[in-house]
Amino acid sequence: MAWNSASFESILAAIVAVLFAIAGVVNLAGRGAVKSDFARWGYPPWLRLFCGALELFSAALLLGQQTRVFGLTLAATIMIAVLFTLLRNREPFRHLAPALVFSALIVVTFAARG
């Protein structure tokens, strides 16, 4: 099978979709440090659920070729809010690193669209 930009973009989008689906499930489950992180950042409890739902919605949009740009836009918007929260609260790099990787994958996927 020959690689082309469409298949590369689809693979990247699938990776981002899986990552956002996992993040959405983690936020919706609210186990461990997730609830305490949102509380420490000063966010209301419902915001964790809203974020989880948006992450799952973004993941679903990323899987469709015709909805992918909307999924990427939503994912990018989510990551801007995440990065803002982490930087504003001076979170350690171990929290910031995954957010930077997610953000980079979104940018590369956007770029692969051609």
Half-sphere exposure of 111 (CA within 13 A, CB side): 6
* pLDDT tens track for 29-51: 998 889 999 999 999 999 999 99
Domain boundaries, the chain: 5-112
Confidence (pTM): 0.91
Instruction: Please tell me the distance from the alpha carbon of residue 7 to that of residue 40, in angstroms, as a whole number.
Output: 41
* pLDDT tens track for 49-74: 999 999 999 999 999 999 999 999 99
- Give yes or no for residue 104 having a pLDDT over 50: yes
Instruction: Please tell me the distance from the alpha carbon of residue 37 to that of residue 19, in angstroms, as a whole number.
Output: 19
In b/e form, how buried is each residue of 70-88, taking b as 16+ CB within 10 angstroms?
Answer: ebbebbbebbeebbebbee
